[in-house]
């Protein structure tokens, strides 16, 4: 999508971290931004430091009725949404499957996967009818490779987001709507603290995180570039392929085995 033609972006989880980096990158290109977030304090804080090009709306992406309200409010102010960034998410909970608290598993799936599907339910048909627009869904490197103990529930949701995005891209392509899946590696944000604020569970998770030399602002620029190019996958880190290749090689070995059996 030619971003010079885009007028309005709606970004969930836009009041912090990667969502805010994306909001700033699009605003720098002249796009008006609705930042939608569950956290009213973060919304207030962000809006206090930004101009009229930004509006905030409180939205819990799990709440389908609230999506309709947020959409109506956003479009009344800035017109039809050209870019939907389905980004709100919470962190892994650090629990292995056998020890999983079902409530924690459900919360991760409800926010990190169903919250994104809800965004498509709210905006997808309108975009398809207008025949233009772009949707970015935030997955993760954990949506391309699995197998880190304690990250499993998160990975289930993020693989779902990757798969959703691949399918949606095929469905939307004939109608002129682009779809990208953002698969970030580790970037330092408030993900752990924000997860706890909404009642989430992050046992063991935060202690293990390495340093990151990629910032939310860098990710914002990568996403803007990815939208311009209608990239199917937007990766933020250079070290993703070995993990993906290992998984693909295992699948290929199974295919070869069956072919030769």
Ligand X SMILES: NC(=O)c1ccc[n+]([C@@H]2O[C@H](COP(=O)([O-])OP(=O)(O)OC[C@H]3O[C@@H](n4cnc5c(N)ncnc54)[C@H](O)[C@@H]3O)[C@@H](O)[C@H]2O)c1
Where on the chain is the footprint of ligand X (CB under 6 A)?
Answer: 12-13, 15-19, 37-39, 42, 59-62, 87-90, 111-112, 115, 138, 140, 184, 186-187, 189-191, 194, 198
Can you tell me the distance from the alpha carbon of 172 to that of 94, in angstroms, rounded to the nearest whole number? 36
Among 201, 191, 107, residue whose Cα is nearest residue 156: 107
* Closer by beta carbon to ligand X, 3 or else 187: 187
- Quickly count: other Cβ atoms within 10 Å of residue 152's Cβ: 21
Pairing of strands 83-86, 177-183: unpaired
Q: Is 154 a catalytic residue?
A: yes
Q: For residues 44 and 252, which CB has a smaller minimum distance to ligand X in the complex?
A: 44
- Closest to ligand X by CB, 198 or 253: 198
- Element housing 234 (H / E): strand 233-235
Residue bearing tokens 């956290």: 39
Report d(CA 5, CA 124) in Å as an integer: 19
C-beta of residue 207 within 8 angstroms of C-beta of residue 111: no
CB of 245 to ligand X, least distance (A): 20
List the structure tokens of 42.
């973060």
Q: How far is the CB of 209 from ligand X (least distance, A)?
A: 8
Query: What's the min distance (Å) between Cβ of 26 and ligand X?
Result: 15
The C-alpha atoms of residue 82 and residue 79 are separated, in whole angstroms, by: 9
Closest distance to ligand X from the beta carbon of 56 (Å): 11
Which active-site residues does the annotation give? 154
């Amino acid at each position: 999508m030619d971003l010079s033609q885009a007028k309005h972006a709606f970004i969930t989880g836009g009041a912090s971290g990667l969502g805010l980096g994306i909001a700033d990158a699009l605003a720098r290109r002249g796009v008006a931004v609705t930042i939608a977030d569950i956290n009213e304090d973060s919304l207030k804080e962000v809006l206090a430091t930004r101009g009229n090009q930004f509006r905030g709306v409180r939205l819990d992406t799990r709440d389908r009725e609230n999506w309709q309200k947020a959409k109506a409010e956003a479009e009344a102010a800035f017109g039809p949404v050209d870019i939907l960034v389905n980004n709100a998410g919470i962190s892994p909970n650090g629990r292995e499957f056998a020890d999983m608290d079902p409530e924690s598993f459900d919360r991760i799936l409800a926010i990190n996967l169903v919250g994104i599907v809800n965004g498509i339910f709210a905006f997808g048909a309108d975009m398809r009818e207008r025949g233009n627009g772009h949707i970015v869904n935030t997955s993760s490197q954990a949506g391309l490779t699995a197998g880190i103990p304690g990250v499993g529930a998160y990975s289930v949701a993020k693989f779902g987001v990757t798969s959703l995005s691949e399918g949606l891209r095929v469905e939307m392509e004939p109608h002129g709507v682009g779809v990208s899946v953002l698969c970030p590696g580790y970037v330092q944000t408030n993900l752990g603290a924000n997860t706890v604020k909404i009642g989430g569970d992050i046992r063991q998770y935060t202690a293990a995180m390495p340093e990151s030399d990629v910032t939310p602002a860098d990710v914002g620029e990568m996403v803007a570039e990815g939208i311009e190019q209608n990239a199917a996958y937007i990766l933020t880190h250079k070290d993703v392929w070995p993990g993906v290749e290992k998984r693909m090689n295992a699948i290929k070995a199974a295919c070869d085995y069956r072919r030769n059996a």
